[in-house]
Structure 1
Amino acid sequence: MFAIKGGKVLTLDDTGVVEDAVILIEGDTIKAVGKNIEIPQGYKIIDAYGKYITPGFIDTHTHVGLDEEIYRVEGDDVNEITDPITPQLEALDGINLLDLGFKDALRGGVTRIMSMPGSANIIGGQAVFLKTHASSIKNMIYKNPAGLKAALGENPKRVYGDQKKTPRTRMANASLLKEAFYIAAGYLEKDKIEPKEKFKYNPLIKVLKKEMPLLLHAHRADDIMTALRLKDDFDINLAIQHGTEAHLISDELVKRDVAVFLGPLLVNRAKVEMKEISFKNADMLAERGVKFSFISDHPVTPVEHLRVYAALAVREGLNENIAFQALTTVPVEVLQVEHELGTIRSGKRADLVIHDGHPFDFSTKTVQTFVDGEFLGG
């Protein structure tokens, strides 16, 4: 049992900022938060005077453990480039839960991540939502599967075009994706499915039943529109991954209540479809009412610096409170775990980060972290 005493708490809920606060933690849960709370006997007191306390940050698009730190061929399990349609693959089966990327995440106050297959395939496989620390590696699994990864745009075209296979065009990208959903929709209506087909298409059936979202990689506005037409046809929950040109079609996203997992933003224009990359994109999405979260795409950019990417967006005009929401409350809402994570309030899981300065100050360090009530550091 812990009592964090004296910090400035950014609750990220209706309570707002609580100065000189007390947070009581019992097991994996926040028992109480507020001013003038009596600390019961037996609680270990953590002095947080002069420090900021936030919910743990959440990165909704990474390849941590799949595209490992240090290792190259040995630790590259992010893309199965032998078949463009592989919904049956599970990221969890390829993740090294001892990858150094998890420690990197903790240094930046990132307490939960979603790790997923890459974007070489039209349908790459199932993502897993993980804690970045637990007393044993089996306890790092928070939600599996958390979503189904798909991709449009340049990546599948390049990978399979180089092999002289389909898809080689955006038309084929879209056709293969639609075909997979039409097949799954047909199976959904049948009483009996052959085991092999059930194994392959069951993740798509889960998406059709809204048991998990489709996490669709798309940079360009035309590819995002293709994804939105798929949502219209099958009435699925959809989140756009990357969304470099999402601000150009923001009205269409708002109309369908589709969120964008935005980024990575601290990169060069590595591909033609990334020509609109800018930290100003976050503010443009916010002004137009599009829900979004920040992503690192680790190891493309380091997960450790997720809050820095948000800070750079604030520098370019984004409202500070919206930036905090993009690190906390928006991700959990889209992934439907807002009842447990994203804010600091009684009854929520104890994912908390203590910072030695304002979290968006570049000189600030993470000094202490709780993940599910487990205390790290200090």
Structure 2
Amino acid sequence: MILIKNGKVYTMEAEKIINGDILIDNGKIVKVGKDLSADNAEVIDATGKYVYPGFVEAHCHLGLDESSIRTEGQDYNETSDPVMPHMRGKDGINPMDETVVNARNAGITTVCAGPGSANVLGGTFVIYKTQGNCIDEMIVKDDVAMKCAFGENPKMFYQSGKLKTRMNIAGLLRETLFKTKEYLAKKEAANGDVTKMPAFDMKLEAMIPVIKKEIPLKAHAHRADDILTSIRIAKEFDLDMTLDHCTEGHLIVDEVKNSGFDAIVGPSLTHKSKFELKEKSFTTPAVLQQAGMHIAITTDSPVVPQEYLPLCVSLAVKSGLDAYEGIKAITINAAEIIGVADRVGSIKEGKDADVVIANGDILDVATEVEYTIINGEVVYKK
């Protein structure tokens, strides 16, 4: 049992900020309020400190690209085929890599991680906590989204012959979706009769949850035309989707907002390393949020090291994003967008006890995290 006393608590709930206490027991938040007490509790004095929910990264590749190593530890892009929906991100994660430790020590407690953007369809993302040695024991929710990618990355990886144009990217995605609909219809028509079932196809099996809207597409799209193509296809097949990166979203804000899809914006703390990033700007989160969109902010780690997620928010705030909305973008908004807000993203009774205690405003680059608590356990103490 842990009792955090007298902190400036960012609950990310209706009562946004309180000066008070948090009682933690059995891995959960038991009580949030003032003048709390509990026998036999470990007391953490948070007087003068800032207390946040554990930070949530809505799109990354943490653990799939290991630190200080090349091909031996790069497991986020499988380039043998542009259509690989049957891959699962969790099969490539090394939770003992130092990048995961660095994230945890910086207060990032939950991440949504999975395949990179080499493929038109790249496989499923998994949501996991950043504490543990076995990924299976760290998982919050598995197979939460299907990665798809538009634009320069698939073109670059397959330019030798399999894929050369944006038309073919869209064509391969449509073909797979049509085949999945047909495959699913045949399975349903067979009504359990194995003699009438279509021949097993692992790739199409993996796409069934997308067609049934059980999981969204996680659409890598930077340039405005690629964002619009992703929206066009999602609407055509009546799919759920998130707009990941959405780099030129500020140029087509009405179309992006009217799509009804949420945006996970970034990474903005990078060089403009390719043509489709030429309009990259830290103003994009503010423009989309002020238009009424639900947004999260991403590092896209390892593109930006995971521990700099709050810094990315700070720079977005410097460029016009409201500070509280910025914190929402890496807490409750991120949790809602990836579908785990029932467990993480805010400090509320009954939720997982993922808490960060810092010696100042987390948006101040000089601020240091002093405690990271995951599932009620202190996993980092400065």
TM-score band, normalised by shorter chain: over 0.9
Give 2:166's match in structure 1, choosing from 146, 170, 173. 170
**Distance of 1:43 and 1:134 partners within structure 2:** 24
Q: 2:233 — aligned with what?
A: 230
Shift of the 136–218 alpha-carbon distance from structure 1 to 2, 3 Å rule, reads: closer
Runs of 4+ in 1 over 3 A off after TM superposition: 134-138, 192-196
User: Residue 189 of structure 1: SS of its match in structure 2?
Assistant: helix
Q: 1:15 — aligned with what?
A: 15
Equivalences for residues 218-367 of structure 1 within 5 A: 218-367=221-370
User: Residue 73 of structure 2: SS of its match in structure 1?
Assistant: coil
The CA deviation at 1:195 is 5.7
**Distance of 1:357 and 1:314 partners within structure 2:** 16
**Distance of 2:209 and 2:136 partners within structure 1:** 24
The CA deviation at 1:146 is 1.6
User: Residue 261 of structure 1: SS of its match in structure 2?
Assistant: strand
The letter of the residue matching 1:62 is: C
Taking structure 2 as the reference length, what is the TM-score of the superposition?
0.95
Q: 2:200 — aligned with what?
A: 196
Q: 1:101 — aligned with what?
A: 99
Give 2:143's match in structure 1, choosing from 142, 145, 153. 145
Q: Is the 8 A contact 2:95 2:132 kept in 1?
A: no
Q: 2:118 — aligned with what?
A: 120
The CA deviation at 1:273 is 0.4
The CA deviation at 1:28 is 1.5
The CA deviation at 1:290 is 1.9
**Distance of 2:199 and 2:313 partners within structure 1:** 45
**Distance of 2:139 and 2:22 partners within structure 1:** 26
The letter of the residue matching 2:212 is: K
Shift of the 218–265 alpha-carbon distance from structure 1 to 2, 3 Å rule, reads: same
Q: Is the 8 A contact 1:294 1:310 kept in 2?
A: yes
1:180 aligns with 2:179: no
The CA deviation at 1:118 is 0.8
**More displaced stretch, 316-325 vs 187-196:** 187-196
Taking structure 1 as the reference length, what is the TM-score of the superposition?
0.96
Q: 2:193 — aligned with what?
A: none
Q: Is the 8 A contact 1:63 1:118 kept in 2?
A: yes
The CA deviation at 1:194 is 4.1
**Distance of 1:339 and 1:113 partners within structure 2:** 15
Q: Is the 8 A contact 2:58 2:337 kept in 1?
A: no
The CA deviation at 1:203 is 2.4
User: Residue 348 of structure 2: SS of its match in structure 1?
Assistant: coil
Q: 2:45 — aligned with what?
A: 47
**Distance of 1:228 and 1:66 partners within structure 2:** 28
Q: Is the 8 A contact 1:64 1:99 kept in 2?
A: no
The letter of the residue matching 2:10 is: L
Q: Is the 8 A contact 1:134 1:374 kept in 2?
A: no
The letter of the residue matching 2:183 is: Y
The CA deviation at 1:336 is 1.8
Identity percentage over the alignment? 39
**More displaced stretch, 120-129 vs 250-259:** 250-259
Q: Is the 8 A contact 2:93 2:135 kept in 1?
A: no
**More displaced stretch, 181-190 vs 169-178:** 181-190
**Partner deviation per Cα, 1:338-375 (whole Å, 9 max, x = no partner):** 11111111111111100110111110011101112121
Q: Is the 8 A contact 2:94 2:135 kept in 1?
A: no
Report the RMSD for the aligned CA atoms in angstroms. Answer: 1.3
Q: 1:4 — aligned with what?
A: 4
Shift of the 140–169 alpha-carbon distance from structure 1 to 2, 3 Å rule, reads: same
**Distance of 1:230 and 1:244 partners within structure 2:** 19
The letter of the residue matching 2:330 is: L
Q: 2:216 — aligned with what?
A: 213
User: Residue 200 of structure 2: SS of its match in structure 1?
Assistant: helix
**Distance of 1:377 and 1:243 partners within structure 2:** 33
The letter of the residue matching 1:49 is: T
The CA deviation at 1:137 is 4.6
The CA deviation at 1:138 is 3.4
The letter of the residue matching 2:200 is: K
Gaps of 5+ in 1: none
Q: Is the 8 A contact 1:250 1:290 kept in 2?
A: no
Shift of the 134–318 alpha-carbon distance from structure 1 to 2, 3 Å rule, reads: same
The CA deviation at 1:329 is 1.3
Q: 2:62 — aligned with what?
A: 64
User: Residue 114 of structure 1: SS of its match in structure 2?
Assistant: strand
